Chain A
Amino acid sequence: EAGVAQSPRYKIIEKRQSVAFWCNPISGHATLYWYQQILGQGPKLLIQFQNNGVVDDSQLPKDRFSAERLKGVDSTLKIQPAKLEDSAVYLCASSLGGQGNIQYFGAGTRLSVL
Chain B
Amino acid sequence: AQSVTQLDSQVPVFEEAPVELRCNYSSSVSVYLFWYVQYPNQGLQLLLKYLSGSTLVKGINGFEAEFNKSQTSFHLRKPSVHISDTAEYFCAVSETGGFKTIFGAGTRLFVKA
Indicate, yes or no, whether A interacts with B: no
